[in-house]
Amino acid sequence: MPAFTSAIYKAAAELWRPWLQPEALLTLSQGGFYSQQVRAGLRVVSLNTVLYYGPNEVTSNMTDPAGQFDWLEETLLNASRSLEKVYIIGHVPVGYLPFARNVTAVRERHNERLVAIFRKYSDVIAGHFYGHTHRDSIMVLLDHHGNPVNSLFVSPAVTPIKHVTEAYSNNPSFRMYQYDSGDYAVLDVWQYYLNLTEANQQQKSDWRLEYVMTEAFGLADLRPGSLLKLGLSFWLPQAAHLPPLLHTLHGRLRQQRHLRGSLQGGPGVCRALPGPALLLQVCGARRTVEHTHQQGGSSGTWMLIVFICVYI
293-304, pLDDT tens digit by residue? 444 333 344 444
Question: How does pLDDT run across 140-192, given as a tens digit for each residue?
Answer: 888 888 888 999 999 988 988 876 766 777 889 999 999 999 999 999 999 99
Residues 78-103, mean pLDDT to the nearest whole number: 89
Q: Which is more confidently placed, 52 or 270?
A: 52
The winner for highest mean pLDDT among 119-123, 148-152, 267-271 is 119-123
Tens-place pLDDT, residues 1-45: 888 889 999 999 999 999 999 999 999 999 999 999 999 999 999
Question: pTM of the full predicted structure?
Answer: 0.80
Q: Are 217 and 227 in contact (CB under 8 A)?
A: no
Q: Centre a 10 Å sphere on the Cβ of residue 31 and count the other Cβ atoms it contains.
A: 23
The answer to whether 29 and 69 are in contact (CB under 8 A) is no
Mean pLDDT of the chain: 78
Domain locations in the chain as residue ranges: 92-306
CA gap 234, 245 in Å, rounded: 9
CA atoms within 13 A on the CB side of 211: 20
Q: State residue 7 phi and psi, 5-degree precision.
A: -65, -40
The neighbour count for residue 168, using CB atoms within 10 Å, is 16
Over 80: is that where the pLDDT of 124 sits? Answer: yes
